[in-house]
Chains A and B, each alone.
Chain A
Amino acid sequence: MFPWLTALIAWPLVGAALVGLSALGLSRTGPASAGVGLARPIALLFSLVEVGLLVGAFIAFDTGAAAEHQLAETYRWIPQIGTSYAVGVDGVGLLLVALSVVLVPLVLLAAWTEQGRDEVRLRRFVGLVLLLQAFMVAVFCARDVFLFYVLFEAMLIPAYFLIGGFGQGAGRRKAAVKFLMFSLGGGLIMLAAVVSLYFLGIAAGIDRSQVFLVDELAAVDLGTTAERLMFVGFFIAFAIKAPMVPVHSWLPDVAGNATPGTSTLLICVLDKVGTFGMLTLCLPLFPEASRWAAPLVIALAVISVLYGAIMAIMQTDLLRLVGWTSVSHFGFIILGIFTFTPLGTAGSSFMMLNHGLATGALFLVAGFLVSRHPEKSQKIADYSGLRSVTPVLAGTFLVAGLATLSLPGLATFVSEIMVLVGAFGGSPAGSAGWAVAAVPGVVLAAVYVLLTYQKIFTGAPAAGLEALPDLRLRERVVAAPLVVGLLVLGLVPGLALTYVDAPAEQSVALTSVDEPADDAAQTGSDN
């Protein structure tokens, strides 16, 4: 069988090597080397071929067994440490792989002119984007805890350079450092848990050379205390990534200072690793601990929902605002995961995809807007009345905004309602109450989206902005797939839900109290 996943991982790496390494050879003062101007087309080509590979993977994937990890490949990698190169995706993983594959060409296209004519910057930028893509695809495929961890941390590096090196805000370096410190801080805490898993896995009798395989570890009962400690280790890392209140502080800074393209990749795809990790690592590996922690997690998730939305309303910087909305949305995703209902979990899985599309669209369109401002201002107050000046931009922004506020008919609505309705019937204590408490989030979402739209696009056009150009063809090409995707998935969510439903059922089954075991105990006592 063709190794689709490995191909999906390796192909962008090839592209990154090709483009990125050539960028190192160029220095600004150096002579112009061959292939000037080709960096963007080549990268775009690579990312489009990657989309082709993705199609292949989708065809090879059996939706009938979406809960199983398919397209699997397992090779020994570092047997001394017990880690393998084990990849495989279930439906959720495949969708997230798809998200990372689909967004990259759009981001490349959106950033087409962003770096100006500086060939060095261009090559580095596209090289880093492709590198990040390879890591992101890989992390969603990883079926080995160690491999997952390695990728989890390694992808921070291209992300870090993308934030710090190419952002538009003055504070981008600080933001990059903040991002990396938060992420690494969480990651290293997770490392401690990974180390522990190594010993516990061996102690449980797993072959030492493959001790990190998720499938093996999931079958091990770690013991209550150890399991809880390790859950905490993993969860903190994921919560920082997700980002969840109160460890979200890095996100607004990043959103406000990175380029919109970077933010898109970072917040819409990379951060999904957090929730993806909760779903595919925390729950299967630490089911008991997940149940134990669920009430607190749910509470924090709902606080994130409201907190993020309120902060978004209070923002004066457009891109920061979009960042804050994500805090709110990630709250919903986590809420869905930790209320342990098939509906909520499936909704969360679906929402991971939708949030990527919707927030990605919002980031990119906001980026288009900012790029038009003579001073590249991100201050909402610097804009006004632009609907009459740039109607298409306004319309696209509004659609993206409506997707963000989960307007029914768009995919985001389906997932949000699934989460809320599912969470209401959640098994952890107080789920229903917290679910109800999260509902005002939808009102706050309407406020932050429409308030922003009102300030930027309505009223009299601001001085100096009366002649801004409307969306160009390239920019429309960027926005169109996202909008269409949101619409189609909103009307026919089944296209995606077939991939997430079975995994959701399965992960809920994992965390439900083991009834078969109880039965066995009873029959045992009867005997």
Chain B
Amino acid sequence: MNDVIGLAPWLVGFPLIGAAILLLGGKATDRWGHWLGVLASAASAVIGFILMFRMIGTPAEERSIDHHLWTWLSAGGLDVDLGLRLDPLSLTFVMLVTFVGTLIHVYSVAYMDHDPHRRRFFGYLNLFVAAMLTLVLADSYLLLFVGWEGVGLASYLLIGFWDTGRPSARENAVAAKKAFVMNRIGDMGLIAAMALLFAGTGALDFGTTLSDDAVGSLSEATATAIGLCLLLAACGKSAQFPLQAWLGDAMAGPTPVSALIHAATMVTAGVYLMVRSGPILEAAPTAQLVVVIVGAVTLLFGAVVGTAKDDIKKALAASTMSQIGYMMLAAGLGPAGYAFAIFHLLTHGFFKAGLFLGAGSVMHAMGDQTDMRRFGGLSRFLPITWITMGLGWLAILGIPPFSGFWSKDGIIEAAFMPVEGQPWRAWVFGSVAVLGAAITAFYMTRLFFMTFGGRRPRWTENQHPHESSPLMWWPLVFLGVGSAALGAVLGIGGTFVTWLEPVVGHAEHHEPVLPVPVIITTTLVVVVLGALLAFRMYAVALVPEEAPRGSVLTRAARRDLYQDTANETLVLKPAHGVARLVQVGDRDVVDRGWSVLPQAVSWFGAVFRKAQSGYVRSYAAGMAGGVLVIAVVVWLVVGLGGAQ
């Protein structure tokens, strides 16, 4: 392992250099820039593979390596090295990011073919890959934060990629800003967590802070505070309730971006953070509970929103939110859940990326139309897309043996694990997980059949759907295969769980409150029921081209359960009020307050000036008066005093 560890920095280095060349190189790189981007990402992927295989070849207990690069920050008692931590967890992410990332790079070459700013797009993509790899490879919270905000920046740039020159340009820019700002709200949590950690343990690197000694030295209150702060950060990044509002708008970015950043990788960083910080969360059961609750709430929230969305990307975004809810739920369950959280993260990365890219392919074919009510009957025209998306659809539904089944089922089982002293938890969260699976089945089936099924197309005029270029469908094929097989490959025999054990620890096996076969069966039954319902409504029945008014719940779900309204009323308006108050206060109180001084001087000046009347006699009177006053005062004070 040590002979290849020197390659690790190049995981980040290649895409970073790629980004630098593409962004600074200017028009000179326009012609070949996209291929450079692909190459940089692919190079990372190759290094990732090498490291991965070497890691597999090392004994389990040696699978955590901290690779020190240089002393980053050493001042005032805080010593943080700039170093990389290579362990099964980070390498899993590396593989996901570089492999899926490279596929998406390739896809984008074709997808962005007509965009005059393709080079810039690849620059941003490379920047994202570099930042995401920094995030997962960091060996300290501080460096993690660099990647954390780096991906935020890349996300910002990519969501707002079309921020000029289109009718929707301003909205895209606003969406980008919204994403970044909401992420920043989460980041406050990370900053606060770091402050607490430094105060509590005197360090910020994983090696120290997550060690048993350090965690043991934290009081439960501190650990809870840290855990909640980390959760806030994770909520921001992973679009978990209550910071979920940005993700839907983030679909304003080009579809490969949605696939890579807002489905497969970046949004799952919150889960990574939770799993990485496992030892701290385990010391804070309350925080863990909150994590689970957040996961459960988001799971349902996203699922409900997903049922009503007609925009294919927004529906997928809601689905992403919901799936991450699953992961978050799992991450809150302790060691039993960690592995499945990451497992689901991995499989989700594949199938959701595939679904998004498929959606991109559909949009490409339909002239950038995203409204599913304007699709229908596309399976004939886009066979490869249809099949690969179908694999993704089965995967997300959790139909055995597709990959989603292996990971999601693990989470559902874990959710049914009893918790000592709190018997209600297993039932509540288990049921939520099952319910979520049913709704997922409904909305994904709806999405699938509204797009590909249906008895007649609902296209607008002049649509000539066609399969996309090989550059686009080959990645789909790869992802489709992954969606189909990855779960089985890693899931059978617990390979993946074992692989992660060095990081997340071995989970004591408890029996769920229900027998496992019962859980599996129940889940499958409700999933099939949900899918059938959707099939009946959207494949068998005619889908109207204009959305019917719908029930109260539908309308609410279409508007994301009024999340923007809530934010508007609860946060933005009061905040704006405060800002106005400050502004008016600054102008009318502070600034005016200071200007009172010169005004007062001028006023007194004008008054005293009148004494300078120009009349000699009044001047003389002033003098005489002055003499008299002084004399009287002196006489009163001194004269009387002298008489004694």
Question: Interface of A with B (CB < 8 Å)?
Answer: 181-182, 245-246, 248-249, 307, 310-311, 313-314, 341-347, 350, 385, 387-388, 392, 395, 402, 407-409, 413-414, 417-418, 420-425, 432, 435-436, 439-440, 442-443, 446-447, 450-451, 453-454, 457-461, 491-494, 497, 500-501, 504-505
Contact = CB atoms under 8 A, between A and B. Distances in A.
A497 B160 CA distance: 36
A493 B578 CA distance: 37
Contact of B165 (A342, A402, A460, A500): A460
Contacts of B590: 245-246, 248-249
A497 B74 contact: yes
20 contacts: A310-B578, A313-B579, A343-B78, A388-B164, A408-B146, A409-B146, A413-B149, A417-B142, A424-B192, A424-B198, A425-B199, A457-B164, A459-B173, A460-B165, A494-B73, A494-B74, A497-B75, A500-B75, A501-B76, A505-B76
B591 interface: yes
The binding surface of chain B is classed by DSSP as helix
Nearest to A398: B157
Contacts of A408: 145-150
Contact of A310 (B149, B185, B191, B582): B582
B177 A450 contact: yes
Nearest to A414: B73
B170 A435 contact: no
B99 interface: no
B133 to A, nearest CB: 13
Contact of B164 (A343, A395, A423, A460): A460
A504 B75 CA distance: 9
B591 A457 contact: no
A442 B163 contact: no
Contact of A421 (B26, B147, B163, B198): B198
Contacts of A313: 579
Nearest to A177: B598
A139 B363 CA distance: 63
A526 B579 CA distance: 59
A504 B76 contact: yes
B180 interface: yes
B196 A424 contact: yes
Given A344-B76, A418-B75, A454-B177, A435 B184 contact: no
A443 B185 contact: yes
Interface in B175-217: 176-177, 180-181, 184-185, 187-188, 191-192, 194-196, 198-199, 204
Given A459-B169, A494-B71, A501-B75, A442 B164 contact: no
Contacts, number: 171
B449 interface: no
A440 B164 CA distance: 30
Interface of B: 23, 26, 70-78, 82, 142, 145-150, 153, 156, 160, 163-165, 169-170, 172-174, 176-177, 180-181, 184-185, 187-188, 191-192, 194-196, 198-199, 204, 578-580, 582-583, 586, 590-591, 593-594, 598
Given A458-B173, A459-B170, A347 B76 contact: yes
Given A249-B591, A342-B76, A343-B76, 19 more contacts: A181-B598, A182-B594, A246-B590, A313-B579, A342-B75, A387-B164, A402-B153, A408-B147, A408-B148, A417-B191, A420-B195, A421-B78, A421-B191, A421-B198, A442-B191, A454-B174, A454-B177, A457-B163, A457-B164
A309 to B, nearest CB: 10
A425 B170 CA distance: 42
Contacts of A248: 590
A246 B194 CA distance: 31
Q: Which residue of A442, A443, A451 has the most chain B CB atoms within 10 A of its CB atom?
A: A443
Contacts of A423: 195
A493 B586 CA distance: 36
Given A246-B590, A249-B594, A343-B78, A424 B164 contact: no
A87 B79 CA distance: 32
A185 to B, nearest CB: 9
B169 A311 contact: no
A307 B583 CA distance: 9
A443 B188 contact: yes
B194 A417 contact: yes
Contacts of A435: 195
Contacts of B26: 392
Given A249-B590, A494-B73, A439 B163 contact: no
A385 B204 CA distance: 41
A342 B594 contact: no
Contact of A450 (B156, B196, B594, B598): B156
B75 A311 contact: no
Nearest to A315: B583
A206 B160 CA distance: 65
A385 B195 contact: no
Contacts of A442: 184, 187-188, 191
Given A418-B75, A442-B191, A458 B164 contact: yes
Nearest to B73: A493
Contacts of A451: 177
Contacts of B75: 342-343, 346-347, 350, 418, 493, 497, 500-501, 504
A424 B160 contact: no
Contacts of B145: 408, 417
A246 B593 CA distance: 10
A432 B194 CA distance: 13
Given A246-B590, A459-B173, A346 B76 contact: yes
Contacts of B578: 310
Given A347-B75, A424-B198, A425-B198, A314 B174 contact: no
